[in-house]
Amino acid sequence: MTHISVAAPAASALSLSTGERKLRRATAADVGPLAEVLADAVYEDPVYGWLIPSNRRRLASLRRFFEIQLQIVGLARGSVYTTAGLAGAAISTPPGSWRLPASAALRNGAGFAHVFGVHMPRALAYLLRVERRHVQGPHHYIATVGVAPSSQGQGLGSELLRPTLDLCDTKQRSVYIEASSARNAALYERLGFSVTGEMRLRVSPPLRLMLRLPLPQETT
Ligand SMILES: CC(C)(COP(=O)(O)OP(=O)(O)OC[C@H]1O[C@@H](n2cnc3c(N)ncnc32)[C@H](O)[C@@H]1OP(=O)(O)O)[C@@H](O)C(=O)NCCC(=O)NCCS
């Protein structure tokens, strides 16, 4: 869910069509608007609600959180897919890039403290536990997928995940995701993920740990 890192620049002008919509790779100019969209998307999510319990602070905190994640995970060392209208985003990292280096955590310490406020110790304990349960071995990691509430349920979330899933099938790689609600776990199951475990910290909502093995490629 939140393993944030810094490294090689990656955003390219790549765009492709999946289903009805044209997807494109996000750039630095998209960070602000996409952080707002992702914050709106997860505002009602049980895990984010537990991590940032104040209804008054949550939206602004989530925007700051996703600004950081988009910059230092998606754009710095992974990919961010979005649509022409910025209705949603999927942030993922390639094999070997999911873990937050200590240097990046330290550089963004003030930002994370702003996000979690007085709940920072609990958030840190939670995120460290999430990190300890992270799947071993080479894999792609979908750090976040979110769609603007007004655009949910129209296939966009599935489409935003498609480039990563197709790449993983082509390269015969696994892909890992953490599902923060039963409803989004059901979506991921339909896309080929299976639950490999469940994690919680004390009374936190459960986080379902999910892995998708690549589809066998046809040999001719
Ligand atoms: C999960 C999410 C990315 C899926 O995008 P989408 O465009 O709505 O998804 P699709 O139209 O491709 O598929 C619909 C399925 O997504 C899931 N879904 C839809 N709205 C959802 C919501 N508000 N919360 C969780 N899952 C949702 C459901 O499984 C739904 O199928 P259902 O209507 O039969 O229950 C999007 O709904 C969302 O941003 N939800 C809130 C944030 C979130 O849960 N992010 C994932 C964190 S792990």
Instruction: Give the tokens for residue 78.
Output: 């992974």
Does ligand 1 have an atom closer than 6 angstroms to the CB of 157?
yes
- Residue 218 region, left (φ>0) first, then alpha (ψ -120 to 50), else beta? beta
Domain count, the chain: 1
Flag whether 185 is in a domain.
Answer: yes
Structure tokens at 72: 């230092």
Is 124 inside any structural domain? yes
Of residues 211 and 9, more confidence is placed in 211
Q: What is the pLDDT of residue 12?
A: 40
Does 15 reside within a domain? Answer: no
27 found inside a domain = yes
What percent of the chain has a predicted confidence (pLDDT) above 70?
90
145 lines ligand 1 (CB under 6 A): yes
CA pair distance 150, 76, nearest whole angstrom = 29
Name the strand (E) or helix (H) holding 68: helix 55-69
CA distance 28 to 26: 7
Task: Please answer whether residues 180 and 48 qualify as being in contact, where contact means their C-beta atoms are separated by less than 8 angstroms.
Answer: yes
CA-CA distance, 169 to 165, in Å (whole number)? 6
Is the shortest distance between the CB of 6 and ligand 1 below 6 Å?
Answer: no
Grouping H, G, I as helix, E, B as strand and the rest as coil, residue 194 is: strand
Q: Quick one: pLDDT at residue 15?
A: 56
Which pair of tokens denotes residue 29?
């100019």
Q: Which of 160, 184, 207 to mutate to test the pocket of ligand 1 (most atoms within 8 A of CB)?
A: 184
Q: Is 18 in the pocket of ligand 1 (CB under 6 A)?
A: no
For residue 11, the model assigns a pLDDT of 37
In this prediction the pTM is 0.91
Q: Is residue 11 part of a domain?
A: no
Q: Which residue has the least CA distance to atom 42 on ligand 1? A: 42
State pLDDT tens for residues 16-34.
Answer: 555 557 899 999 999 999 9
- Domain membership of residue 7 (yes or no) is no
Q: Residue 36's domain is classified under what CATH number?
A: 3.40.630.30
**Maximum alpha-carbon separation in the chain:** 59
Per-residue pLDDT reduced to its tens digit, 74-127: 999 999 999 999 999 999 999 999 998 888 888 999 999 999 999 999 999 999
Name 92's bridge partners.
Answer: 79, 142
57 lies in which domain range?
20-212
Residue 151 pLDDT exceeds 90: yes
Q: For residue 117, is it within any domain?
A: yes
Contacts of 39 (CB under 8 A, 6+ apart): 59, 62, 63, 65, 66
Question: What is the mean pLDDT of the segment spanning 139-162?
Answer: 98
Q: Is the CB of 42 under 6 A from ligand 1?
A: yes
Per-residue model confidence as pLDDT tens digits over 58-73: 999 999 999 999 999 9
Instruction: In whole angstroms, give the CA distance from residue 98 to residue 101.
Output: 9
153 alpha carbon to ligand 1 midpoint, in Å?
Answer: 6
Q: Indicate the SS3 state at residue 101.
A: coil
Q: Is residue 171 part of a domain?
A: yes
Ligand 1 neighbourhood includes 181 CB (under 6 angstroms): yes
